[in-house]
Amino acid sequence: FILKMIADEQIPARTFAPKFTGRFNKGVDYVGDVEQFAREFEQDVLVIDYAVKHFGLPENLKLSVHSGSDKFTIYPIIAEIIKKHDKGIHIKTAGTTWLEEVIGLALSGEEGLMVAKEIYINAFNRKEELCEPYADVIDIADSRLPLPEDVTRWTGEKFANTLRHIPGHQDYNPDFRQLIHVGYKVAAEMGERFTGLLKKYSDIVGQCVEENIYERHFKRLFEL
């Protein structure tokens, strides 16, 4: 019905994001019934296909998975279904890219690492404020968050490994990752101090962003 109304109102829609079963928390893997997700996803792909053919919606209308970055568990399912039906997919990666920027700074040397630590420590101290707008799409346990005094002693490699989304890595901490994910406001408040370091260390930051988007997302989604 929504797609029919979009067509009737001649809205130039390019993506459509239905709600799927399971948890789609910010920046971490999918949690839920994978088989049920597979059924829902394929049904929605077919609904969009029908709407394009019968309602006159744009042929390049894509299914969008809201908060779909880093949902590695369901990427093989998505890849199989979009290949089967020859369809596109829309997944926003702004949040996961922001995290890679922090990882890049942590690996860039003492100056960048100091800012990365400051972002976490400020986010830790402002957790309630930063998490409140995202309460429905995060699950952070205080008991699993590293204490600021411990983080101050971390190396850049330790910080990066704790933040980087590599399931099974001994240092990876999804609670730490989610808190920094919603802590972008801290970096925004730093202004030029943060963006200047991104420019200064653009080589390593760019490598982190590219590896994440291509190796962990594109390759899984498009079976490259």
Write out pLDDT tens, residues 97-128.
Answer: 999 999 999 999 999 999 999 999 999 999 99
**What is the residue-averaged pLDDT of the chain?**
96
Given 62, 92, 122, the domain boundary residue is 92
Number of structural domains the chain divides into: 2
Q: Are residues 55 and 127 in the same domain?
A: no
Domain boundary among 63, 92, 121: 92
How high is the pLDDT of residue 32? 97
Regarding whether 59 and 35 lie in a shared domain, the answer is yes
Whether residues 75 and 152 share a domain: the answer is: no
Q: Please enumerate in sequence order all residues whose Cβ is within 8 A of that of 120, keeping only pairs 6 or more positions apart, or say none.
A: 148, 151, 176, 179, 180, 183
Give which of 197, 5, 219, 220 is closest to 105, Cα–Cα.
197
Specify whether 100 is located in the same domain as 20.
no
End-to-end CA distance of the chain: 35
151 pLDDT above the threshold of 90: yes
pTM equals 0.93
Domain presence at residue 88: yes
pLDDT for 1 beyond 90: no
Domain that residue 53 falls in = 2-92
